[in-house]
Amino acid sequence: MVTSSAFRIFSSAKVNLILKALGKRPDGYHEIFTLMQRVSLFDTLYINIPPEGDIKITTNHPQLPTDEENLIYKAAKLFFKSIDILPRARIHLVKRIPIAAGLGGGSSNAASTLLGLNTLLKHPFSLDDLLKMAVLLGSDVPFFLLKKPAVAKGKGEIVSPLSFSLPFWYIIISPPIHISTAGVYKQVRLTRKENQIKISCLQDVLEHLQNDLEKVVIEKVEEISEAKEILKRAGARYILMSGSGASVFALCQSKREALEIKRALILPEKWRSFLVKGL
């Protein structure tokens, strides 16, 4: 339930412009190299801190858990544990980002929870403090705290913002299916040595567009090939799966190009498309 006194924070989706799986780590994760950009597709979180109580999550999305399995819940619990006060928060999530679709919605929600609670409690933690918490919540969570396009290494926790902006627009297509990120990584057959990619300008980005997970997913999920073909028929030049799928996007170098592709789309029933700006 949203009250008039609730603190509102927007929680953005992301796309992976580059995603390379470099090999298996001793902790079970994969060493990765990824370039991510946030986009103007948002969930909204409404946060209250009542005088007493515990953590309670509500949402408009019937398929999302609202218990301790929810990343928002985990983020709030970790925040209050770190500040050493009894946990008490009421958080309502208005979900617009497709779930389990490679767009980072859950990770973004966790990061927004940390930022929102930190603001409501008058900033007890620095950004470095929040980044340390974010690492414990998930590989993409630190990225969403920085609010800039960034390269992430390690298992995703070593994040370096780009020194230049990415003035891209995107058309995102999301088939009505959910894909398990962990399941995809278990099937990755590529093992690579340390990545030597240098990203110093826009042309570097365009030349290195690649997602190592795409080959694995495309063999199992026919909707990925179908989505790529739909975008190609609509006139898109740069087409890639985001994250572990199943969302596929077309990178556009102008809003006009994005609008032309959007108008030309012919989608199957229940598929969703979004015209968004890179942030």
Q: Per residue in 55-68, pLDDT tens?
A: 999 999 999 999 99
pLDDT of 190 higher than 60: no
Q: Which residue has the higher pLDDT, 220 or 28?
A: 220
Say if residue 73 is in the same domain as residue 17.
yes
Please state the domain count of the chain.
2
Structure tokens at 243: 């994250």
Query: Which tokens go with 42?
Result: 């948002």
User: What pLDDT is recorded for position 85?
Assistant: 86
Q: Domain span at residue 104?
A: 7-161
Q: Is the pLDDT of residue 51 over 90?
A: no
Question: Which one of the listed residues 95, 140, 212, 228 is annotated catalytic?
Answer: 140
Same domain, 195 and 247: yes
Of the listed ranges 105-109, 211-215, 227-231, the least confidently predicted one is 211-215
DSSP 181-216: HHHHHHT------S------SHHHHHHT-EEHHHHH
Say if residue 109 is in the same domain as residue 193. no
| Residue 184 pLDDT level (bands cut at 50, 70, 90) | low
Residue with more model confidence, 230 or 4: 230
Same domain? 261 vs 156: no
CATH of the domain at 209: 3.30.70.890
Instruction: Please tell me whether residues 134 and 224 are part of one structural domain.
Output: no
128 in a domain, yes or no? yes
Residue 192 has pLDDT above 80, yes or no: no
Instruction: Summarize the confidence of residues 183-208 as an average pLDDT.
Output: 73
The predicted pLDDT at position 53 comes to 84
Verify whether residue 204 is a known catalytic residue. Answer: no
pLDDT-derived band at 111, boundaries 50, 70, 90: very high
pLDDT of residue 22: 82
pLDDT, mean of residues 233-241: 97
Supply 188's token pair.
């990755």
Mean of pLDDT over the chain = 91
**End-of-domain residue from the set 126, 161, 196:** 161
On whether residue 111 sits in a domain, the answer given is yes
Q: Is the same domain home to 99 and 120? A: yes
- Residue 14 annotated as catalytic: yes
Alpha carbon distance 217, 222 (integer Å): 9
Q: Which of the listed residues 139, 161, 183 is the one where a domain comes to its end? A: 161
- Looking up residue 54, the CATH number of its domain turns out to be 3.30.230.10
Same domain, 104 and 220: no
**Model pLDDT, residue 240:** 97
* Judgement on whether residues 258 and 140 belong to the same structural domain of the protein: no
In the predicted model, is pLDDT for residue 183 greater than 80? no
Q: Is residue 2 part of a domain?
A: no
Residues 53 and 120 in one domain: yes
Cα 120 to Cα 178: distance, rounded to the nearest angstrom: 34
For the stretch 133-145, pLDDT in tens is 999 999 899 999 9
State the average pLDDT over residues 183-198: 62
Let me know whether 78 and 113 are in one domain.
yes
Does 181 fall in a domain? Answer: yes
**Structural domain contains residue 113:** yes
Residue 5: what pLDDT?
74
The pLDDT of 117-132, averaged and rounded, is 96
| Amino acid in the structure at residue 22 | L
What is the 3-state composition of the chain as percent helix, strand, coil, each rounded to the nearest 5? Answer: 30, 30, 40
Q: Identify whether residues 193 and 106 lie together within a single domain.
A: no
Instruction: For residues 14 and 133, state if they share a domain.
Output: yes
Q: Is residue 1 part of a domain?
A: no
Entry pTM: 0.92
Per the domain annotation, does 230 fall within a domain?
yes
Split at pLDDT 50, 70, 90, the class of 1 is low
261 falls within a domain: yes
When pLDDT is averaged across residues 104-120 and rounded to a whole number, the result is 97
H or E element in which residue 8 lies: strand 7-24
pLDDT score, position 209: 95
Split at pLDDT 50, 70, 90, the class of 194 is low
Please give the helix or strand (H or E) that residue 251 lies within, else none: strand 248-252
Pick from 134, 161, 188: which residue ends a domain? 161
Cis peptide before 246 (omega within 30 of 0): yes
